[in-house]
Amino acid sequence: MSWERLEQSVRVITEVALDRRATWDRLDAAVGDGDFGTSLARGFSVVQVQWEQLDRGSPEAFLKAVADLLGREIGGSSGPLLSVAFSRAGATAGTAEDLDVPLVSRMLQAGADGIAEYGRSGVGDKTLLDALVPAAKALADLAEKPADDAGLAWGVVAQAAADGAAGTRSLLARRGRAVYSAERNLGAPDPGAVAVAVVAARLAVEFGHEAPDVSDLEVPAVEEPAGDAGAQDDAAAVSGHAGPPVETLPTKKFLNDPDESAIESLVGLAKSAPDLVVWDAEERIVRRAVPPTSGSVGLISGGGSGHEPLHAGFVGHGMLTAVAPGPVFASPTTAQILAATRAAHAGGGVLHIVKNYTGDVLNFRLAAEAAGGEGIEVATVLVDDDVAVEGSAYTIGRRGTGATVFVHKLSGALADQGAPLEEVRALAERVVSRSASFGIALTSSSPPGAGPILQLGPEEIEVGVGIHGERGRRRDLLRPAAELVAEAEGLLVGALGLGAGDRVLAMVNGFGATPLMELYLLFNDLHDQLASKQITVARNLVGNYVTSLDMAGASFTLLALDPQLETLWDAPVHTPALRWGF
């Protein structure tokens, strides 16, 4: 492979990523939160814009330049994973002028090794490695034979990648958000593996070799409708479950540019509360308007946008010091988190409050390591309160949902009292261990400029739904509110081991499109059902605190209180979204 072929390969990857954005989003919606295509397009669109300015001093410099752009722009788990893959591939190539088949095979393997290391995953976990590793091996096998035709090489790679991607249909997901509905996702291919196969097939054609037909891999799997067999026929007739998936029209929203909606919202938040928060456009973080007290512990959190007021709405006195907000439903980049850590650092160390999602965990981990290298002491607490998904604990654990607000408030109150970092961290972990959440969706959320992630029939609901619109425990038919609350309450009480005489903080949280009338109705049912077990709702929140864009639905979160937690909850707080005691 010549220099020209290397550039051509990266150009093809860029073009495919931009072209397949909507297709890969739809594919991801079948197993996750429907943003895989958008995430890749966000990074590769910048590669396209800055194409002429990329460093071409050597293969290593060129691929490192691409890696830096992807890591800076994409966010989520895709950003750091693709960044390390391009960077490791470039380091393997070094300054070589002739990229022959043996060298290219080593470059592919180095990229795969980097992804496995950063993502702590491997073949069989239902990730892009299930296509990339077989492709690298096929190329390595070819390198041992007397052949040096790039077209032939990419033809072999394309077939191996296609076979690997097809094989993910039968795998249980062990990484990413697909984990939380792993058994329901059987039959659906992994979007990352499909992307590898599509790119490899396109490269084979580009280099003049016949490529396998991978079009069937890009057809999302179809889930059967909820209910009994008789009801399924009626549901399928109106929801389209029985036939192939249909493209949905974008949901009507107040937008200018869908890709800029999260940023415009953050700018608006800062303008609405200039005495509380500042939007740092250069670093893409939100921080307190008043700097933290010297020697105090700083608190930062972050995650994808679309959950407002989480996270930026909770920056202020008694809660967070700064946040790193990512694009819609995608974690912030490592660079953003590091910038937020620096902004929160006042000499007492910084606590990272991280929701348990692959991209959040990965980027916060890398940022903490970088901050440590700068002399900033960082402690981390992982929020994993969602009890909705059965069996997820054997992989990456429970999702982080409503209890995140409790951790922000209670650890923030303790930090503002001057407690040291280890004490604040210990309290935050205690809050997580004493909290449990469960969510139910009536409708799907719709990312800006797109249609619904889930296709729910008129009588269907998603039980145990995640805050990104991803699938939950099961699809069911709508029932009276009291019955749904009883299911949630039973799971929460059981998970926390609550009994007569216990006191709890209860939150009934709207997902974005549920009227307050219905949220108070739900709280009434929850309150009475807990009272029937002699469990006292000592404190409560009812409203929109951890939303999922425009989803209709609600989540229920309980925290088992003790005297210290009650006192810290009552401590003054002043943020754009939560205020009392002032």
| Total Cβ atoms within 10 A of residue 582 | 8
Taking the CA atoms of 309, 312, 315 and 319 in sequence, report the sign of the dihedral they define. Answer: positive
Do 380 and 351 contact (CB within 8 A), yes or no? yes
The whole-angstrom distance between residue 349's C-alpha and the CA centroid of its chain comes to: 26
What's the CA gap between 483 and 579, in Å, rounded?
33
| Total Cβ atoms within 10 A of residue 279 | 19
Concerning whether 311 is annotated as a catalytic residue, the answer is no
What's the CA gap between 405 and 311, in Å, rounded?
9
- From the list 241, 307, 317, 345, the catalytic residue is 307
Percent helix, strand, coil in the chain (nearest 5)?
Answer: 50, 15, 35
Q: Pairing between strand 460-463 and 435-441?
A: antiparallel
- From the list 317, 345, 408, 468, the catalytic residue is 468
Q: Give the chain's length.
A: 582
Burial class (CB in 10 A: 0-12, 13-18, 19+), 236: middle
Query: CA dist 332 to 354, 511, 551, Å?
Result: 11, 21, 22
> b/e map of 37-74 (b: 16 or more CB within 10 Å)?
bbbbbbbbbbbeeeeeebeeebbbebbbbbbbbbbbbb
Structure tokens at 334: 């490592």
Nearest C-alpha neighbor of 573 from the set 582, 565, 564 = 582
Contacts of 320 (CB under 8 A, 6+ apart): 288, 299, 300, 301, 311, 314, 353, 408, 412, 575
Nearest C-alpha neighbor of 559 from the set 536, 532, 531, 533 = 536
Q: What's phi and psi for 146, nearest 5 deg?
A: -75, 75
Concerning whether 468 is annotated as a catalytic residue, the answer is yes
Half-sphere exposure of 383 (CA within 13 A, CB side): 28
State the DSSP code for 398: P
Q: Pairing between strand 350-355 and 378-383?
A: parallel
Active site residues: 307, 468
